[in-house]
Amino acid sequence: MRLLLVAESNALTTSVISDNRSFVVYADAPEEAISILRHETVDVVVVDIGSLAEDGFAFIRRLRGAKNDTPLVALTAHHADDRVRALGLGADDAIALPVDVSELRARIAAVTRRHKGLSQSLAEVGDLSLSLESREVRFENNPVRLTPKEYLMLELLVLRKGQILTKDMFLNHLYGGIDEPELKIIDVFICKLRRRLNSVGADDMIETIWGRGYTIRTSGAAKQVSNSVIAAA
């Protein structure tokens, strides 16, 4: 998960990223955060309202006024009025500080899943299933062994079914703008991912759209993405 943290202090970064599932992009001012959101895709925004020199509530208002519907979690002072105000301006969740780290991670994950239409943590395409929490992959109930980067690529394809994903989008998802290799590495990863899927009978699930990128088939071998109950948000 790619997370944008908007705060004057990045003290929360370690606690959010320590589960090794999140890549945190840090902005210490609303203007910087707006610029990042114009040029990059993130899964969720976490804004520490109290730490911002500029009114954090104004940041939420500005973001929603620009029709940006990226999931947003607001961290507020320990006053119900602040949480109500943040929610009224368009925050998807509002949490009073201090907050338990485990609760914070769980609520961020829940907001992200809801936004993607996944009220539960299992995503399916035909007989292929991905557990978004444990990162386990199965095809016809048989485990599919993937490297971390292969899993991230497959997860992006499944969660953005129906979309053509460019190599730049994969690079951004895998590396977050840090020490990015050349674009051709994506072709290598796709080739390896296809091999892994083919080895369990999940043939031809990833389609190449020449000159544009890749997509996952939603018919035939890959029938349709649906939700399944394995863990409540």
pLDDT in tens, the chain (233 residues): 788 999 887 666 656 655 656 778 888 888 999 999 988 888 899 999 988 866 889 999 999 998 898 999 999 887 788 889 999 999 999 988 877 777 788 788 888 878 876 555 677 888 888 887 778 899 988 899 999 899 989 988 887 777 888 998 888 778 766 677 888 999 999 999 999 999 999 888 999 999 899 999 875 443 333 333 222 22
Instruction: Give the pLDDT of residue 74.
Output: 94
Q: Is 145 exposed, middle or buried (0-12, 13-18, 19+ CB in 10 A)?
A: exposed
Whether residue 28 contacts residue 40, with contact meaning beta carbons closer than 8 Å, is answered with no
Whether residue 183 contacts residue 167, with contact meaning beta carbons closer than 8 Å, is answered with yes
Instruction: Give the pLDDT of residue 185.
Output: 93
Q: Is 179 exposed, middle or buried (0-12, 13-18, 19+ CB in 10 A)?
A: exposed
Which residues touch 130 (CB under 8 Å, ≥6 apart)?
Answer: 122, 123, 124, 136, 137, 151, 154, 155, 158
Q: Is 212 exposed, middle or buried (0-12, 13-18, 19+ CB in 10 A)?
A: exposed
Strand, helix or coil for residue 175: helix
Please, what are the domains in the chain?
2-115 (3.40.50.2300), 120-232 (1.10.10.10)
The dihedral through the CA atoms of 188, 191, 196, 199 has a sign that is negative
Instruction: Give the pLDDT of residue 119.
Output: 52
Instruction: Give the pLDDT of residue 97.
Output: 83
Indicate whether this model's pTM tops 0.75.
Answer: no
Token pair of 233 as six digits: 């948000």
Within 10 angstroms of residue 159's Cβ, the number of other Cβ atoms is 19
The dihedral through the CA atoms of 90, 93, 96, 101 has a sign that is negative
The dihedral through the CA atoms of 171, 172, 176, 177 has a sign that is positive
Q: Which residues pair with 26 in a beta bridge?
A: 5
Instruction: Give the pLDDT of residue 45.
Output: 94
